[in-house]
Structure 1
Amino acid sequence: MNDKHAWTTHALFNALSRSTLVVSNQASIELEEGIHATLHLTLHSMGDLPVFITAEGEQVLVESLLWPQAMVKDVAAFNDEVLATHKVFPLSTISLDTLANGERYYTMFGALSAFSSLDDVLFEIELLADNVIKAADAYSTFISEGV
């Protein structure tokens, strides 16, 4: 958008649908309506990595689930490692969220101004996806295989 108009989730859906990322089939996008509209972007170029995007108020939030807390072998040690190392993932951070079904998940997310350009939003999506892949590798020793 520009300095006069903030992104909404619906406007972002329209813009991303016309972006090279989606038009070239590197990604597909769905608008999920609900209390808060959410975009579900599937990054085919990153192994079908799901990324969720919302634009509300002053910010655009771009996030991807990492893994359930139940898959972490030693939660205290893992949390300590994340707090000590999360700065190596530029413009992204990790949170622990509770899903609607009550399950707790580690999530990686980035936030940017709702007045950011579409190029900035696309950069955030690509950077977050790259950081999710790097985090999965960096923290793999803490994760159980078949929980």
Structure 2
Amino acid sequence: MSLKDLATQLSGLVQDGFALDVLPIQKGESGEISVLQVTVEGFDELPIFVTATDEQILCVTNLFTKSEIKAELENELNAMLLRLTVNVPLSSFGMIDEQYILFGAMGVNTIVENIAHELVTQAENSLEALDALEEFLK
């Protein structure tokens, strides 16, 4: 499924009581959409960036940057993230450059209802993660 098709199917869809808003935000060299920004109603401050390869759909939420961490607690935060990853359904913690993220991946043949469910779950997980990690942030 192309990202354009996915955007069309997800836009305005209500999943688990939350409406999804989809905005294509980046086009590749061929002019095709390469990244979608998905906002789950009620979680507007935590957009999910969706991209796809031939094999998987990757969903990424930016949580905070390294500069937002209390420097003396960075090692403790990283240890906490490793422990929390097991308890966060359908999501994992990671880093892209200096940005801490929450991400999830699924196969490209996943049905749209399951993709929407994953996006809602990731939005909920992101907010819960930020709440759980608040003591480590400035």
TM-score (norm 1): 0.80
Q: Contact 2:56–2:108 (CA<8 Å) still a contact in 1?
A: yes
Q: How far apart, CA to CA, are the structure 1 residues paired with 2:12 and 2:21?
A: 11
> Hey, what does 1:125 align to over in structure 2?
119
Match of 1:34?
A: 27
Partner of 2:68: 71
- 1:4 aligned partner: none
Q: CA deviation at 1:115?
A: 0.4
More strand by share: 2
Matches within 5 A, 1:8-19: 8-17=2-11, 19=13
- Paired with 1:27 and 1:116, the residues of 2 have a C-alpha distance of 17
Alpha-carbon offset, residue 43 of structure 1: 2.3
Aligned residues: 131
Matches within 5 A, 1:97-136: 97-98=96-97, 104-136=98-130
RMSD of equivalent CA atoms: 1.9
How much does 1:119 deviate?
Answer: 0.7
Aligned to 2:88: 89
Q: Cα 1:41–1:141, aligned 2, differ >3 Å: closer, same or farther?
A: same
Q: Aligned with 2:63: secondary structure?
A: strand
- Decide which of 40, 45, 55 is 1:43's aligned counterpart: 40
Q: Is the 8 A contact 2:20 2:39 kept in 1?
A: yes
The Cα of 1:72 is off from its aligned counterpart by 1.1
Q: Provide TM-score, normalisation by structure 2.
A: 0.85
Give the 3-state SS of the residue equivalent to 1:49 in structure 2: coil
Paired AA for residue 128 in structure 2: K
SS at match of 1:57: coil
Give the distance between the partners of 2:20 and 2:106, measured in 1 at CA: 21
Give the letter aligned to residue 128 of structure 1. Q
